[in-house]
Amino acid sequence: MSVRRKRRIIRLVLICGAVLALLGGLLAFTMQRHDSDALWKIVQRCSTSVGHRPCVLYKPEEGYALLKDSHGRGQYLVVPTVPVRGIEEERLLKADTPNYLGRAWQYRAYVGWGYGATLPDEALSLAINPRTGRSQEHLHIHLECIRPDVHSILETLPMQSNGGDVTIDGHLFHWLVLHSLEPSPLWAHSAVLFGDESETRRGTHGIVVTFVKGRFILLESTAHGLYRGSAEDLQSHVCEGWLPHKAATTLIQEKAELQR
């Protein structure tokens, strides 16, 4: 083997080593950045910080806090002030657990304030992602606009039957008509939603609550195969189709500026 060829091989090995080291560093950096307990750490910070920041509201006596999500102008999160991993938690099936869905709906006006507009109840929704569709191991309810195409589908449901199945985005959802969010739907309708499932199985469920024709509609889907079951996918983080023209134009301009 010639000296020149040996040098090329050595150079190639060194380059490959450098590339692998770089990829390893990026992977380590990514893993370091992702902290599945980050949300719970924020809640803990709210308990001791001045003004309970960064929480918008902090109500430990009622068991919950309200946070502004970093994504979207009008997206907020309602979170427990005690450790609750997610939809799979058995305590959500008990009558004495705070009604997190009911509390979240009380603060729906914050969404409109974020967008600089007054939104009708039918524009709004609550979403809880399943274990496979979430990044945080602390229960958080997404308070945000519903996608208008999803709302249009729900308007066609035969609500006199109080429940059934509907296909959205190619996935099957079970729906229930709720006349109120009191008491907690997760407790009051646990037999229909979860039956006697194990904690692992309960963790595959995604939940969406929205308002259609004067009634609440609860949608439940189950993650399976490659379908992560992310309930949040039925929401719009730009509140598409619901904003007054002026507010919508402002959002379009802001989006264009960010993309420059």
182-215 pLDDT tens trace: 999 999 999 999 999 999 999 999 999 999 999 9
Q: Are residues 196 and 238 in the same domain?
A: yes
DSSP one-letter code for 237: T
Give the whole-number percent of the chain exceeding pLDDT 70: 81
Q: Are residues 53 and 168 in the same domain?
A: yes
Which of 223, 53, 80, 212 is CA-nearest to residue 138? 80
In angstroms, rounded to a whole number, what is the distance separating the alpha carbons of residues 128 and 101?
9
Rounded-to-10 torsion of CA 109, 111, 116, 119: -60
- Which whole number is the average pLDDT over 163-181? 96
- Which whole number is the average pLDDT over 157-171? 94
Q: Give residue 246's pLDDT band: very low, low, confident or very high (50, 70, 90).
A: low
Compute and round to an integer the Cα radius of gyration of the chain: 23
Q: Are residues 20 and 56 in the same domain?
A: no
Q: What are the beta bridge partners of residue 224?
A: 227
Q: What are the beta bridge partners of residue 167?
A: 172
Q: Are residues 78 and 8 in the same domain?
A: no
In angstroms, rounded to a whole number, what is the distance separating the alpha carbons of residues 186 and 94?
9
Q: Are residues 25 and 121 in the same domain?
A: no
- Mean pLDDT computed over every residue of the chain: 87
Q: Are residues 169 and 236 in the same domain?
A: yes
Q: Measure CA 119 to chain center.
A: 20
- Which whole number is the average pLDDT over 41-69? 97
pTM score of the predicted model:
0.82
- Which whole number is the average pLDDT over 32-48? 88
> Which helix (DSSP H) or strand (DSSP E) does residue 21 occupy?
helix 3-33
Which amino acid makes up residue 4? R
Q: Are residues 253 and 136 in the same domain?
A: yes
Among 131-135, 216-220, 224-228, the range with the most confident prediction by mean pLDDT is 216-220
In angstroms, rounded to a whole number, what is the distance separating the alpha carbons of residues 142 and 210?
12
Residue span of the structural domain in which 17 resides = 1-34
Are 86 and 131 spatial neighbours (Cβ–Cβ below 8 Å)?
A: yes
Q: Are residues 193 and 114 in the same domain?
A: yes
In angstroms, rounded to a whole number, what is the distance separating the alpha carbons of residues 227 and 27?
25
Are 131 and 200 spatial neighbours (Cβ–Cβ below 8 Å)?
A: no
- Which whole number is the average pLDDT over 229-239? 94
pLDDT digits (tens, 9 = 90+) for 96-151: 999 999 999 999 999 999 999 999 999 999 999 999 899 999 999 999 999 999 99
Are 128 and 230 spatial neighbours (Cβ–Cβ below 8 Å)?
A: no
Q: Are residues 19 and 109 in the same domain?
A: no
Q: Are residues 134 and 20 in the same domain?
A: no
pLDDT value of position 13: 43
For the chain, helix, strand, coil in percent to 5 are 40, 20, 35
Q: Residue 102: which CATH number? A: 3.30.428.30
Are 230 and 206 spatial neighbours (Cβ–Cβ below 8 Å)?
A: yes
Q: How many domains does the chain fold into?
A: 2
pLDDT value of position 248: 64
Q: What are the beta bridge partners of residue 6?
A: none
In angstroms, rounded to a whole number, what is the distance separating the alpha carbons of residues 62 and 19?
52
Give the whole-number percent of the chain exceeding pLDDT 90: 75
Checking if the pLDDT of 51 tops 70, the result is yes
